[in-house]
A and B are shown apart, each in its own frame.
Chain A
Amino acid sequence: MTLTTAEADTHTYPHARTFDDLPGLMGRMTGADKHGPAASSTLDVLWVLYDRVLRIAPEAADDQARDRFLLSKGHGPMAYYAVLAAKGFIAPELLETFGGYDSPLGHHPDRTLIRGVEIGSGSLGHGLPLGVGTALGLRAQGLIDPAVWVLVGDAELDEGSNHEAIAYAGAVRLDRLHAVVVDNQSATHGWYGGIASHFAAAGWSTATVDGRDHAALYEAFTQPHPGRPHAVVAVVEPKN
């Protein structure tokens, strides 16, 4: 396999792919044709963000004015790679190399191997602090328009580093920072009072919605939140 991400065939696979194409793209990584609704907790969230919210495109993957999407929960990146393929960031053929020695597509993403991937992740609890720095760095350069989005999991929030970022971002009103928490109720000890309350107590704007409802996700993602960072809790089926 000699394909690279730069060779993503956007002519053969224009941006007209739809949500219904994603299971087939995921199948190219797993060899399975069908995936049940629990195949990926992040699939709907990722699709709505990439299809309707994020201002990013393969041909402008290095544009300083682009929005930033940071996949903090790097586990199970098949849905992410499928969406990147559907949107022309990577060649669909590349999906078949998933996890191979020379493949850029690992079981955790590496930003230095895939154009359009903003961070390497896998160890939990790194995305929100990196997102805080990204939002600060854009502001320091006068780039006050780009949005920074970080996808975390409900169990990932166990890591204390998240709470350093949540408390700080709320306190300094870092309003270009957005978190989407995909909640499949996998945190061993749960979140007393609900996940959103922990963000709200730190000064964030919050919304909790059905993580499979595209219209509800879109509305939550685009809700105005002047002067505050914004967290969307996307609730999906329990992991277990």
Chain B
Amino acid sequence: MTTTVAATMRDRFISTASTLLDEDPRLAVVLADISATGFDAAAAAHPDRVINVGIREQLLIGATGGLALTGVRPIAHTFGSFLVERPFEQVKLDLGHQGVGAVLVSALGSYDWPAGGRTHMSPADVALLDTLPGWTVHVPGHPDEAELLLRDAAAADGLVYVRLSLQQNAEARPITPGRFLTVRQGRGGPVVIAVGPVLDDVLAAVAGLDVTVLYASTVRPFDSAALRGALADRANADVVVVEPYLAGASTPFVAEALADRPHRVLGLGVSRQELRHYGTMQEHIAAHGLDARSLRERISAWAV
């Protein structure tokens, strides 16, 4: 089941990034006030490599691009709404067009703080990055996975987005960055791809059903080989993707992976429509049909 425990992935980001600053002089953390107090100790230790530009998100990404131009590996962080959506042209031009790499680490995701309303929800972040070339997108489902993927992103050179949520799975999985993990092997039914923190709800939803479940903690590049492998001995290619952001975001990638064979795909995720409700994360997960009971009904009805 979806759980929220004291140690969040965002907490783990702060501790991991602070440690990485000690270990790797190439790294810098760039902030726009969000999470800044968590980095007070790191800023004291590395005053030139923990940079808080204030509530200025165009500058957050522009300065990140400038840092990268000098050879620094910058890690920029704020809520997804203000990291990807608000400064999207800076993401496009100050990073991609300049030909530099960077790590963007978001918090709050699609529905983590529903009482905060639409302004603090970023269900479109992954779909927006899908319009740009070269982005790796990690969607960890547990703090241990977040740490592993953050370390991998920091050590790389390219453009990496790490999407952190308060929603998380009960246990970390033995993931490999960039690869889907088979967590349940079916005999002939659909292949369900669970992205990051939706895994526990997906596993509960398909209990007793004949399905294969692939776990995607990295969703871009899309692990087409894993999907094709899971479907290799199937007469039918029925694929369900459950993702904690805009529904259907990965559907084109499934279609591309299976372009040479007939297939069906069901893309489940956050609805495009604004809910205009406050409340709790669990209420919003249910409203988007992403709780275990809703998922079971939707997948069962489609798979028949």
Q: Residues of A with Cβ closer than 8 Å to B? A: 64, 110-112, 118-120, 123, 125-126, 128-141, 143, 160-161, 164-165, 167-168, 171
Contacts and interface: CB of A to CB of B under 8 A. Distances in A.
* Chain A at the B interface: SS class: helix
A160 B58 contact: yes
A164 B59 contact: yes
Contact of A133 (B48, B66, B89, B97): B66
A119 B100 CA distance: 11
A111 B48 CA distance: 26
B238 to A, nearest CB: 43
A122 B63 CA distance: 17
Given A126-B93, A129-B62, A134 B67 contact: yes
B69 A136 contact: no
Interface in B57-110: 58-59, 61-72, 74, 89-90, 93-94, 97-99
B28 A140 contact: yes
A111 B63 contact: no
Interface of B: 28, 48-49, 51, 53-54, 56, 58-59, 61-72, 74, 89-90, 93-94, 97-99
B99 A129 contact: no
A165 B62 contact: yes
* Chain B at the A interface: SS class: helix
Given A120-B98, A137-B70, A168-B59, 10 more contacts: A118-B69, A132-B59, A134-B67, A137-B68, A140-B72, A160-B58, A161-B58, A164-B58, A164-B62, A167-B54
Nearest to A140: B48
A169 to B, nearest CB: 9
A165 B28 CA distance: 18
B48 A136 contact: yes
A198 to B, nearest CB: 16
A137 B28 contact: yes
B59 A141 contact: no
B48 A161 contact: no
Contacts of B28: 136-137, 140
Contacts of A130: 62-63, 65-66, 69, 94, 98
25 contacts: A112-B98, A120-B93, A126-B62, A126-B93, A126-B94, A129-B61, A129-B66, A129-B94, A131-B66, A133-B63, A133-B74, A134-B67, A137-B67, A140-B28, A141-B70, A141-B72, A143-B70, A161-B59, A161-B90, A164-B59, A165-B59, A165-B63, A168-B53, A168-B54, A168-B59
Contact of A123 (B48, B69, B93): B93
Contacts of B93: 120, 123, 126
Nearest to B69: A134
A171 B65 CA distance: 20
B58 A129 contact: yes
Contacts of A160: 58
A128 B136 CA distance: 27
A143 to B, nearest CB: 8
Nearest to B46: A140
A113 to B, nearest CB: 10
Contacts of A167: 54, 56
A69 B61 CA distance: 19
Nearest to A171: B54
A112 B69 CA distance: 12
Which 6 A-B pairs rank lowest in CB-CB distance, beginning with the nearest? A133-B66, A129-B62, A137-B70, A133-B63, A164-B56, A164-B59
Contacts of B74: 133, 137
Given A123-B93, A126-B93, A164-B56, A133 B64 contact: yes
A161 B53 CA distance: 12
Given A129-B62, A129-B90, A164-B53, A137 B72 contact: yes
A133 B99 contact: no
A112 B99 contact: yes
B59 A140 contact: no
Contacts of A168: 53-54, 56, 59
Contacts of A136: 28, 48, 51, 63, 66-67
B49 A140 contact: yes
A64 B71 contact: yes
